[in-house]
Structure 1
Amino acid sequence: MKVDFQHRQSAHCESGVTSSLLQHAGLDQITEPLAFGIGSGLFYAYIPLIKINNGPAIAFRTMPGLIFKRTCKALHIPLIRKKFSSRQEAEAYLQQALNEGKPVGCQVGVYYLSYFPREYRFHFNAHNLIVFGKEEDNYLISDPIMETPTFLTSYELERVRFAKGALAPKGQIYYPVDNVSVDNETIKTAIKKGIRFNTSQMLRIPGWFAGVRGIKYTGGRIKKWRDNLGVQKAGSYLAQLVRMQEEIGTGGGGFRYMYAAFLEEAQQWWPVDELQEVSEEFTKAGDLWRTAAVQAAGIYKGRLGSQADFDQMGDYLIEVSEIEKKAFQQLEKIKWA
């Protein structure tokens, strides 16, 4: 059993899965940047009370599943999204969907993905891929971050679909209805709504831990990590930040580049000069996130370690916060035609 599905390599797993599934369903206009932007995928959160791999939970994107859900909702596309308590039920539902000719998105854990290089496997349960067939005991996999399609055995797929820990996927499966049709006005409206919602999320989400305030807060905390945690533990926390930034999908810097690409594409739908200007600001933010990652790597690998090095790292994030704050404020002021 094999669905006639075209594998597409993408920058990020969920936006790649979303655009690939929608294009398969007939919506050729939706590129990966458009899916990311319509789904309001850009985000930031620092949650020290939740630990992942012995470090604080740090997120550079919205919660898993929301890009797909928001994009489909904005485009008025009916979708199927299910989780399971029973592995047998999850397997049966997957088999049924494939028998009906439907490629399906799945949320999985990274640690046991056998086709990932070992250095990229760690306990992270918010990866997304597409299952599009089965040959003997091998499920055919379209993983957006891989160059070509691959496969997992039945046991391997079940293992990653029911990975334990934070953000446990619980066999989650999702896909849009077939043969969708969306007019250009609906796409234009979805772009505008996606920008407005993302702006609200980054500027006005309550609390100190998320949005642009969360980035600034993290920068301030980093300056205190050396004294409060010691150089070794502080270095491991910075390693966690870099891992979440650079090794999970497109990470912090890459997400900013993708949002810049989204705004460029948005300008093709909405001829507003400010979209190009703000796109350039997000590119600057992406560059600075990458510079911060190099600084952090120098600290956790032992090449750097003075208080001045931690201060510099914190200052990078505080500067990023200011760039993104001003960029979203510019988007907020756009007068849509």
Structure 2
Amino acid sequence: MEIDFEHRQAAHCESGVTTNLLWNASGGKITEPLAFGIGAGLFFAYIPFIKVNNGPAIAFRTMPGHIFSRTCKSLNIPVVRQKFSSKEKAQLFLDECLDKRKPVGCQVGVYYLPYFPKEYRFHFNAHNLVVYGKEGDNYLVSDPIMEGTNVLSSYELERVRFAKGALSPKGHIYYPGQVSAISDEQIKQAIKSGIKKNVFNMLHIPGSFAGVSGIKNTGNKIKKWRDKLGLEKSGLYLAQMVRMQEEIGTGGGGFRYIYGAFLQESDIYLPGNQLGEISGIFTKAGDMWRTAAVHAAGIYKGRLGSQNDFNIMGDYLLEIAAVEKAAFETLKKIKWQ
């Protein structure tokens, strides 16, 4: 049984899933950049007490599930979401959804996804894909970061839906509830809401672990890593940062590029607010993250390693923090026309 569903490739998994699940209701208006921006997807967090692959948890986008939930909420679309303690109940619920011809989003671990290249497989449990059909014991899967669709056996799908470790998905399944046509006015208001939420997340979360304060704090910490952690461990920490940026992100600070594209598309709905001009600042930030990643790679691969190299790496993040702070402060000052 296959649902009428069209696979569309995307740069990022959750914004891609959100776009694909809302495509028909929006008449194709909810693009990936709009989903990412309305869902306030841009973020940064450095959480050293949570370990992922023996390194600190570092995030370049908001927590898993938030993009989909926020986008639907801003568009007045109810969300159906469920996790399971039982693998049997999880499969039964999925099959019931497919029997009702509902494509669904699933949070999964990437390590055991058989269609992932081996070099991209590691224990990361916040990947998202769409299951849109079943043929015998096989499930039809639309993974938005892949060029085409794939097939997983019931065992393979169960294995990734119940992957162990940090952010264990526990069979997490979600989809939009009753969806009516999405109007341009709804999209306009959702854009404003998404920008305001992202401004808060990047500028006003208390402490120094998240947002632009988190970027600045991480930059200062990097300068101390060589002496505090030793060259080998500090190199592994930088490798973790690049992995979370490049492999689990979208490559080269790609979330910043997506956000820039969001502001460009938003300028069409809300002209006269300089959103097109501000988008260029996020493109610049994306370029800076790319440069920082190249420098970090030089350290963890052993081509660089002096204290000055760590100072340069830390300074990259301090410069990025300043650029992103200026961009979000400009967005905060907008008096919407």
TM-score, normalization: structure 1? 0.98
Give the number of equivalent residue pairs: 337
Write the distance in 2 (CA, Å) between the matches of 1:27 and 1:82: 27
CA deviation vs aligned residue, 1:85-121 (integer Å, no higher than 9, x gap): 1111100000000011111000000111110001100
Write the distance in 1 (CA, Å) between the matches of 2:171 and 2:25: 22
1:309 is aligned to 2:326: no
Q: Which moved more, 1:294-303 or 1:79-88?
A: 79-88
TM alignment of 1:1-337, pairs within 5 A: 1-177=1-177, 179-250=179-250, 253-337=253-337
Write the distance in 1 (CA, Å) between the matches of 2:315 and 2:172: 39
Q: What code does the residue aligned with 2:45 have? A: A
Unaligned runs of 5+ in 2: none
Q: What code does the residue aligned with 1:23 have? A: W
Q: What code does the residue aligned with 1:221 have? A: K
RMSD: 1.0
Q: Could you tell me how far 1:184 is from its partner in structure 2?
A: 1.4
CA deviation vs aligned residue, 1:23-54 (integer Å, no higher than 9, x gap): 14454210000000000000000000111001
Report the 3-state secondary structure (helix = DSSP H, G, I; strand = E; otherwise coil) of the residue aligned with 2:46: strand
Q: Could you tell me how far 1:332 is from its partner in structure 2?
A: 0.4
Unaligned runs of 5+ in 1: none
4+ residue stretches of structure 1 with deviation over 4 A? none
Q: Could you tell me how far 1:296 is from its partner in structure 2?
A: 0.3
Q: For residues 179 and 329 of structure 1, do their structure 2 counterparts lie closer, same or farther at Cα, with a shift above 3 Å needed?
A: closer
Q: Could you tell me how far 1:77 is from its partner in structure 2?
A: 0.8
Q: Could you tell me how far 1:278 is from its partner in structure 2?
A: 1.2
Is the contact between residue 26 and residue 178 of structure 1 (CA under 8 Å) also seen in structure 2? no
Is the contact between residue 10 and residue 16 of structure 2 (CA under 8 Å) also seen in structure 1? yes
Write the distance in 1 (CA, Å) between the matches of 2:172 and 2:252: 25
Report the 3-state secondary structure (helix = DSSP H, G, I; strand = E; otherwise coil) of the residue aligned with 2:145: coil
Q: For residues 293 and 142 of structure 1, do their structure 2 counterparts lie closer, same or farther at Cα, with a shift above 3 Å needed?
A: same
Q: What code does the residue aligned with 2:169 have? A: P
Q: Could you tell me how far 1:274 is from its partner in structure 2?
A: 2.0
Is the contact between residue 78 and residue 178 of structure 2 (CA under 8 Å) also seen in structure 1? no
Report the 3-state secondary structure (helix = DSSP H, G, I; strand = E; otherwise coil) of the residue aligned with 1:113: coil
Q: Could you tell me how far 1:254 is from its partner in structure 2?
A: 0.2
TM-score, normalization: structure 2? 0.98
Write the distance in 1 (CA, Å) between the matches of 2:127 and 2:98: 21
Identity of aligned residues (%): 69
Write the distance in 2 (CA, Å) between the matches of 1:264 and 1:40: 15
Write the distance in 2 (CA, Å) between the matches of 1:66 and 1:36: 10
Write the distance in 1 (CA, Å) between the matches of 2:240 and 2:186: 40
Write the distance in 1 (CA, Å) between the matches of 2:251 and 2:171: 24
Report the 3-state secondary structure (helix = DSSP H, G, I; strand = E; otherwise coil) of the residue aligned with 1:140: strand
Q: Which moved more, 1:80-89 or 1:320-329?
A: 80-89
Write the distance in 2 (CA, Å) between the matches of 1:220 and 1:168: 31
Report the 3-state secondary structure (helix = DSSP H, G, I; strand = E; otherwise coil) of the residue aligned with 1:322: helix
Q: Could you tell me how far 1:251 is from its partner in structure 2?
A: 5.3
Report the 3-state secondary structure (helix = DSSP H, G, I; strand = E; otherwise coil) of the residue aligned with 1:321: helix
Write the distance in 2 (CA, Å) between the matches of 1:180 and 1:132: 20
Q: Could you tell me how far 1:272 is from its partner in structure 2?
A: 2.5
Is the contact between residue 7 and residue 148 of structure 1 (CA under 8 Å) also seen in structure 2? yes
Is the contact between residue 64 and residue 126 of structure 2 (CA under 8 Å) also seen in structure 1? yes
